Chains A and B, each alone.
Chain A
Amino acid sequence: MIPVEYYFVLSALLFFVGVFGFFTRRNLIAMLISIELILNAVDINFAAFNRCLFPDQMEGFFFTLFEIGVSAAETAVAIAIIINVYRNLHSTQVNRIEDLKY
C-alpha cells in the first residue's frame, strides 16, 4: 500500500503547477486549462484521503464524482463565454479585453 503522503505530495505539486499557469498565462483558454489542473489535484487528494485513511466510507469518492460533473458544466459555460468574447472583441487575451459593452 502506497503511503498517503506520496499522493499528497503529487497533488500539492500538481496544484501549484496549476497556480503557476494561472498566474503566468494570459490566454483565457490556457487559464481555464490551468484551472482544470488545480481541480484534478484536488480530486486526487479527495480520492487518496478517502481510500487511505477512511476506507469504509465514501465521502471523498462521491465528492470527486460530483466535482467531475460540476467541472464539466463549468467548462461548457466558460467556453461559451469565451467564444462570445472572441466574437465581440476578436481576442482571447485578457490584456486586450478592456471594453465592457461598447
Chain B
Amino acid sequence: MIRLLVFIVLAVIILGSAVLSVTTKRIMRAATFLLFVLFGVAGIYFLLDYTFLGAVQIAVYAGGVTMLYVFAIALTNKNTLSGIYERLHGGRLIAGAAASLVGLAMVVFVFFKEKLMTVASSADEVPMKTIGHTLMGSEKYQYVLPFEFISVFLLACIIGGILISRKE
C-alpha cells in the first residue's frame, strides 16, 4: 500500500511537471520542469527496485543532459531570464491537443482490449554483480557488444559535436 502511495505521488509529480514543461512560455522554466520529470522517473526506477538504473538516470540525465540544456539556452537566448519568449498559437494548440488525445485514446484502447498476462514476481533488487556480469559477458543474453558499440558511438558523437560547433 505504501508503494502505491509513493507511485501516485511520483506520477502526479511527473505528469504535472511534464504538462508545465510543455506549456510554459519561458524555455529556462521548461528545462527546470524537465529536471523534475527526470527526478520523478528516477524515483519510479527506485520504486521498481532498479537502483542502478535510478542512479544512472540521476547521474546522466539529471546531472549531464539538463546541464547541457541550460548551457544551450544561455548561449542561444539573449534575454533568457526576462520576458516572454514564445507565443503559443491557438490553432496549433488545438491541433496538437487533438492529435495527442486521439493517439492516447488509441493506445489505451488497444492496451485494455487484451488481457495482459500477469506473473507473480519476486520484487527483490538486482545485485550489482549480476548487472556487471551481464553487461560485460559475451554469451547469450549478455551485452558486451552493445556496450562496445555505444562506446564507439559516444566517441563519434564527441568528434561530431566538436566538428559542428567549432568556429572556423
The residues of A with any CB-CB pair to B shorter than 8 Å are 1-10, 12-21, 23-27, 29-30, 32-34, 36-37, 40, 43-44, 47-48, 51-55, 57-59, 61-62, 64-66, 68-77, 79-84, 86, 92-93
Contact = CB atoms under 8 A, between A and B. Distances in A.
A37 B34 contact: yes
A17 to B, nearest CB: 4
B60 interface: yes
A76 B97 contact: no
- Give the interface size bracket for B toward A: 35 or more
Q: Determine the main DSSP class of A at the interface with B.
A: helix
Interface of B: 3-4, 7, 11, 14-15, 18-19, 21-23, 27, 30-31, 34, 37-38, 41, 44-45, 47-50, 53, 56-57, 60-61, 64-65, 68-69, 71-73, 75-77, 85-86, 88, 92-93, 95-97, 99-101, 103-104, 107-108, 111-112, 116-119, 121-123, 126, 130-131, 134-135, 141, 143, 146, 150, 153-154, 157-158, 160-162, 164-165
B142 to A, nearest CB: 9
A71 B45 CA distance: 17
B15 A17 contact: yes
B50 A47 contact: yes
A84 B19 contact: no
10 contacts: A10-B44, A14-B15, A24-B93, A24-B96, A30-B30, A33-B22, A53-B118, A53-B121, A55-B123, A65-B56
Contacts of A79: 68-69, 71-72
